[in-house]
Amino acid sequence: FEDLEIAEKSAVTILSIKEGLIGPARQRNDAAVSLSEMIADTVANMGLPDGVVEMDWSANMPLAHVDARQVEQVFNNLIKNAWEAMLTTPAPKIVVQGRRDSDPNFVLVTVKDNGPGIPKEIQEKIWVSFFTTKGGSGGTGLGLSAVMQIVDQHGGKIWLESEAGKGAIFFVRLPVEKI
């Protein structure tokens, strides 16, 4: 059984690396997507404890014009990373908010956590392929690199604001559905 566990863990790691490398290069199928519905479904399938993720959507938030599969990977990764960063946080909370951006051609979704934050000295490094803060605990260092690539390919933008000890906020700007 121990050998099977090792093989399974290796297979999961390999699939994660493959998805990190190939996912952003996959043929896109852009369509009108309700980010609120997509992210709610993503969170429901993650198996996080009730009440950890709070969602707040603007009433006038338009549909995004994106590849749903790829953008789902973006938010799955951001929420999973936030959750994993808060393993020692007493009352972990992730807040996902969406609204129309100040530029009406975009929507803005933020993923905010109350975890330990990301030290300034590594904030630029987190976007680099194979950089991980997870050491031997399963991170491949491809998640945020793939996230940035996917957002860039959609003509969007992603950035981070964080202070050590004060959590992190990831901002994801994506194009709206053209009417």
Write out the DSSP string of 113-164. E-SS---GGGTTGGGSTT--SSTTSS--S-HHHHHHHHHHHTT-EEEEEE-T
Q: Other C-beta atoms within 10 Å of 68: how many? A: 17
* Per-residue confidence band for 139, with pLDDT thresholds at 50, 70 and 90: low
- pTM for the full model? 0.79
DSSP string, 45-109: TTTPPTTSEEEEE-TTPPPEEEEHHHHHHHHHHHHHHHHHHTTT-SS--EEEEEEE-SSTTEEEE
Least confident of 87-91, 96-100, 114-118, 131-135: 131-135
Give tens-digit pLDDT for 17-68.
555 555 555 577 889 999 999 999 999 998 899 899 999 999 989 999 999 9
Task: Give bridge partners of residue 168 from the DSSP assignment.
Answer: 113, 162
CB contact set of 142 (below 8 Å; sequence gap of 6+): 16, 17, 19, 20, 21, 129, 130
* Per-residue confidence band for 100, with pLDDT thresholds at 50, 70 and 90: very high
Q: Tell which residue, 67, 63, 36, has the closest CA to residue 149.
A: 67
Q: What six digits make up the tokens of 27?
A: 């043929």
Pairing of β 94-100 and β 53-57: parallel
Q: The tokens 């390919």 sit on which residue? A: 153
Q: What six digits make up the tokens of 143?
A: 């998640």
> How far is Cα 119 from Cα 168, in angstroms, rounded to an integer?
10
Q: What six digits make up the tokens of 90?
A: 């007493």
* Per-residue confidence band for 2, with pLDDT thresholds at 50, 70 and 90: confident
Q: What six digits make up the tokens of 136?
A: 């031997």
> How far is Cα 78 from Cα 117, in angstroms, rounded to an integer?
13
